[in-house]
Structure 1
Amino acid sequence: MLVLQALHGLSLAQTEYLVADRPSWMRSCRLALGDAVPDANTPQDFHEALIVAGTLDALFARLDRAISEAGYLPMAGQIGATPRSERRGDPGGATLVAAPRQRHTEAEKVRIKAGKRPRRSGPTKPTGRPPPRHQVRANAAKSAVRAHVEHPFAHRKG
């Protein structure tokens, strides 16, 4: 419960409510649907015991490292409310964001450290020519999918 609280920036009372309300949060806490949810004082007591033992910072550093090694960015305090969650009155859901991995060769790393840009790699379209027909079809198919996915969220772009 402490991890959920920290990742979502919640109070103890909010965390208790959401663990009782959401089956996915119950599973995260290793609780079955019929199990009693610990009250807000239980995580607080555990939190204080971790502080006394001097292990709280190490525990959360280890969690951040595990999330990062799995290829995600731990985004504590970066969680926004969604329209569905706003209607239900809860503060929003967490999203793990896939972290892009840099794949520079040693030569490219040397160029970057020297203040130069790495050479462009991968397939490129010849300048001044239209893309090949198969690329035009592939781009159109991708655009159609993106339009269906992004349209419901267009109002949020502001």
Structure 2
Amino acid sequence: MKCEQVKELILTDYLDGQMEKAKKTQLEEHLTTCRDCREYELLTRTTVVEPFYNIEKHNPPEATWNKTREQIIVEQQMHNNSIADLFNRVKTLFYFPKPAFIAATVVVLFAVATTVIKFPLENQETRKGVSDSQVECINYLMSVFDEELINGDDDLETSIEYFFL
């Protein structure tokens, strides 16, 4: 077990005595090997649990118990109702925590979309400009090469070869 899990279990089920035997055994094995978790368990027991051992217990009024039972029954019925359960699942999918977060997200998405759409157009224009100048350069070099062939200069030192070498 990881220390995070052990500390959570100490706070919930272990100190309450509500833990399954298998998990309790694993947790206690971890406590024997991990000094930090053992100290955490002792500190939690002495500060959170032990002060409440000797206090007088008060039972809530019967009306409170009845309201609690009714609420549990209503929640179970809602949970068993498949349409209500489906509605709750869909509602959690579209939950937005804060309107400011939504507004910031929309602004960022708009900025990204504008940037992505703008740059490809500029890149196409830039590529077209570069390709036109490259074509002009190659045409010039070919015309010089053709003139050398016409003049009978067919040795290996043509202007193109000279340019690339």
TM-score, normalization by structure 1: 0.22
* Rg comparison, structure with higher value: 2
TM-score, normalization by structure 2: 0.21
Instruction: Report which structure shows greater RCO (CA 8 Å, sep ≥6).
Output: 1
The structure where helix makes up a greater share of residues is: 2
